[in-house]
């Protein structure tokens, strides 16, 4: 009995012990689960917090605008009043019929792509003929190494910096830090680098970029003198309602408003050979096609055009001449060739079977098509019997675009976008039969601003006296009445780049990047020998002259910023960045 009772008691004690042990293990297990759950909760909280911070930072960067009031475009009201007074002033009567004025402007064509300047890799007999029957300017200069600023200087007769047209007009800017950071560090932009600080104009201010309506364009002043006026070709001087061609003194407009357009209605078009470049800007051009500012327009209405663009411009110019042959007319014939995108008619492409480089072959074909178009226009002037009554100008807006690897700027350093000779030296010719001797090769530097002053003087007009003009009437210099240089000094500025030519010497420097060069262009037109250390007095003198010019002549600050700089590698091993 006792044994049984004791055994029963011991069994009960063992059960109790097992229960206690199980309870302890259960409690320990619960504690472990609590610790594990707390850890997992901490990890999840960290991840959510991190995601929240990333999203929050992204929203902050997106919502944090980088548009600035400082870039609000303001037009000079005093110049507006001066323009109104000049345009409404009565004219002095004249019995003489003023000459027609025709400007034939190429786009990105360097002097060493024109055979009149001694090259053999390409022949441009029709362009050359204008020089043979008139004047070839050995050292013709544009007011800028980029399309829009240079065209503005040409059409106003004033270096465009005077009214704040410092760099290329822009279609859009980054609006927040995400877009800015992406463009600067994440997107592959090749040789183009975002260098500007995150401070840009708002979208509605971008729309006002271009030549201010307070400026008096050549079309406006000639219209005052009863000229019929036409813009045929590329505009690139503003899309605001006060800046489009029909608001700037033109009676007729045909072409496109922006920087480029396809030469055919579509990228792939019968009879057209394309060459595509890999750069992000080239891809943007192909993608845009003929939309937006690349759309074809006639008198402010969008149209469809099937003709190869160079020939369409030629046809429109010839028709306008025929329609207005009995009255003074002004044609601003602004070709887009040979600007990218590269498209050429197949019959011209077939003229260059010996050129193995496909890029250059299409490029040369475009130049030959342009040359033939100019030849047709020149012949039309003769056929209409108005040769003695017509001034013909031929030039390019800036130097050849060396970054396409198609152009050949010969001995000149670099090309478009740079203020070296390859960027601002252009092919430049003039013909005025019976008034300017034929066969002249003029050696002194001339400027595209001279076209304005010469044309107004030929029309019997006078320049407004409320503003400074940079051009001069070239006729006295070409006829020998004036033996001096038309220009002792020429100035350029684009953001951090300063340049000037004084006599035979050229100064060029970057205030941001700290480099500076001095060259003798008579002995060193390739700008390879830097004389800064050898001629410190001259260097300091020219630098001070440039600063004085800016302080005294450039009263208006740049009206908008650029976004990018283009990196260039010169043959001398130096690397440069220029505003793009």
pLDDT tens, position by position, 289-308: 999 999 999 999 999 999 99
What does R_g of the chain's alpha carbons equal in angstroms? 33
Residue 31 confidence (pLDDT): 47
How far apart (Å, rounded) are the C-alpha atoms in residues 143 and 512?
21
Residue 172 confidence (pLDDT): 86
Angle at the Cα of 42 (from 41 to 43), degrees rounded to 5?
A: 90
Residue 65 confidence (pLDDT): 77
Q: How confident is the model at residue 32 (pLDDT cuts 50, 70, 90)?
A: very low
How large is the average pLDDT for residues 553-571?
93
- The residue among 278 and 450 whose pLDDT is bigger is 450
How far apart (Å, rounded) are the C-alpha atoms in residues 182 and 194?
10
- The residue among 408 and 27 whose pLDDT is bigger is 408
Contact (CB, 8 A) for 453 and 472: yes
pLDDT at 12 over 60: no
The rounded mean pLDDT for the chain is 91
Residue 185 confidence (pLDDT): 87
Render 337-365 in DSSP notation, one character per residue: TTSSSEEEEHHHHTT-TT---HHHHHHHH
Give the pLDDT confidence of 389-422 residue by residue, as tens digits. Answer: 999 999 999 999 999 999 999 999 999 999 999 9
pLDDT at 16 over 80: no
pLDDT at 247 over 70: yes
Give the pLDDT confidence of 336-379 residue by residue, as tens digits. Answer: 999 999 999 999 999 999 999 999 999 999 999 999 999 999 99
Q: Which of 207, 213, 260 is nearest to 236 (CA)?
A: 260
SS3 (DSSP) at 242: coil
pLDDT at 6 over 50: no
Residue 5 confidence (pLDDT): 36
pLDDT at 74 over 90: no
- The residue among 452 and 55 whose pLDDT is bigger is 452
Contact (CB, 8 A) for 437 and 430: no
Contact (CB, 8 A) for 210 and 240: yes
Alpha-carbon distances of 341 from 276, 325, 572, rounded to whole Å: 7, 34, 29
Residue 574 confidence (pLDDT): 93
How far apart (Å, rounded) are the C-alpha atoms in residues 238 and 245?
9
Residue 367 confidence (pLDDT): 98
pLDDT at 95 over 70: no
pLDDT at 2 over 50: no
Give the pLDDT confidence of 206-220 residue by residue, as tens digits. Answer: 999 999 999 999 999
pLDDT at 167 over 50: yes
pLDDT at 1 over 80: no
pLDDT at 171 over 90: no
Q: How confident is the model at residue 26 (pLDDT cuts 50, 70, 90)?
A: very low
Contact (CB, 8 A) for 563 and 174: yes
Q: Which two tokens stand for residue 431?
A: 């013909």
pLDDT at 505 over 60: yes
Q: How confident is the model at residue 178 (pLDDT cuts 50, 70, 90)?
A: confident
Angle at the Cα of 569 (from 568 to 575), degrees rounded to 5?
A: 85
Buried b / exposed e across 381-404, counting CB within 10 Å, b at 16+? beebebbebbbbbbbbbbbbbbbb
- What is this structure's pTM? 0.89
Give the pLDDT confidence of 113-136 residue by residue, as tens digits. Answer: 999 999 999 999 999 999 999 999
In the beta sheet, which residues pair with residue 506?
A: 501, 519
Residue 91 confidence (pLDDT): 86
pLDDT at 266 over 60: yes
Task: Write the Ramachandran bin of 173: left for phi over 0, alpha for psi from -120 to 50, otherwise beta.
Answer: beta
Q: How confident is the model at residue 24 (pLDDT cuts 50, 70, 90)?
A: very low
Contact (CB, 8 A) for 168 and 146: yes
């Amino acid at each position: 009995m006792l044994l049984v009772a004791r055994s029963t008691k011991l069994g009960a004690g063992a059960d109790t012990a097992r229960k206690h042990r199980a309870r302890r293990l259960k409690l320990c297990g619960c504690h472990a689960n609590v610790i594990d759950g707390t850890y997992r909760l901490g990890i999840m909280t960290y991840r959510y917090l991190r995601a929240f911070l990333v999203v929050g930072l992204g929203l902050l960067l997106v919502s944090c605008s980088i548009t600035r009031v400082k870039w609000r475009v303001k037009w000079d009201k005093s110049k507006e009043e001066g323009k109104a007074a000049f345009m409404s002033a009565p004219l002095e009567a004249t019995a003489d019929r003023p000459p027609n004025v025709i400007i034939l402007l190429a786009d990105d064509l360097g002097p060493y792509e024109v055979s009149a300047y001694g090259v053999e890799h390409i022949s441009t007999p029709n362009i050359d003929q204008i020089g043979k029957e008139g004047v070839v300017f050995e050292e013709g200069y544009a007011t800028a190494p980029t399309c829009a600023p240079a065209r503005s200087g040409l059409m106003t007769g004033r270096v465009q910096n005077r009214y704040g047209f410092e760099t290329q007009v822009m279609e859009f800017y980054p609006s927040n830090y995400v877009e800015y950071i992406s463009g600067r560090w994440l997107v592959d932009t090749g040789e183009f680098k975002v260098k500007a600080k995150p401070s840009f104009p708002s979208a509605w201010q971008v729309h006002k970029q271009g030549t201010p309506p307070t400026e008096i364009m050549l079309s406006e002043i000639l219209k005052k003198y009863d000229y019929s006026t036409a813009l045929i070709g590329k505009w690139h001087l503003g899309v605001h309602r006060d800046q489009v061609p029909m608001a700037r003194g033109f009676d007729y407009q045909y072409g496109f408003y922006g920087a480029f357009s396809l030469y055919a209605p579509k990228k792939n078009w019968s009879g057209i050979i394309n060459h595509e470049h890999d750069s992000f800007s080239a891809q943007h051009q192909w993608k845009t096609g003929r939309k937006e500012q690349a759309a074809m327009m006639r008198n402010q209405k969008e149209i469809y055009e099937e003709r190869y663009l160079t020939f369409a411009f030629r046809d429109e110019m010839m028709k306008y001449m025929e329609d207005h042959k009995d009255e003074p007319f002004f044609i601003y014939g602004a070709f887009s060739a040979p600007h990218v995108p590269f498209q050429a008619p197949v019959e011209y492409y077939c003229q260059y079977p010996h050129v193995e480089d496909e890029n250059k072959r299409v490029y040369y074909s475009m130049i030959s098509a342009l040359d033939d178009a100019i030849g047709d226009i020149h012949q039309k002037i003769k056929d209409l019997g108005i040769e003695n009554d017509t001034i013909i100008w031929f030039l390019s807006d800036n130097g050849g675009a060396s970054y396409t690897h198609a152009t050949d700027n010969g001995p000149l350093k670099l090309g478009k976008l740079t203020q070296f000779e390859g960027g601002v030296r252009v092919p430049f010719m003039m013909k005025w039969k019976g008034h300017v001797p034929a066969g002249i090769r003029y050696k002194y530097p001339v400027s595209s601003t001279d076209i304005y002053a010469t044309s107004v003087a030929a029309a019997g007009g006078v320049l407004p006296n409320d503003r400074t003009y940079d051009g001069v009437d070239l006729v006295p210099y070409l006829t020998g009445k004036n033996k001096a240089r038309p220009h002792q000094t020429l100035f350029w500025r684009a953001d951090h780049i300063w340049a000037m030519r004084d006599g035979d010497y050229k100064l060029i420097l970057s205030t941001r990047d700290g480099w500076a060069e001095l060259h003798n262009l008579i002995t060193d037109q390739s700008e390879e020998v830097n004389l800064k250390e050898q001629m410190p007095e001259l260097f300091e003198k020219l630098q001070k002259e440039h600063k004085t010019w800016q302080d005294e002549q450039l009263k208006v600050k740049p009206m908008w910023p650029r976004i990018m700089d283009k990196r260039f590698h010169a043959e001398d091993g130096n690397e440069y960045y220029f505003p793009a």
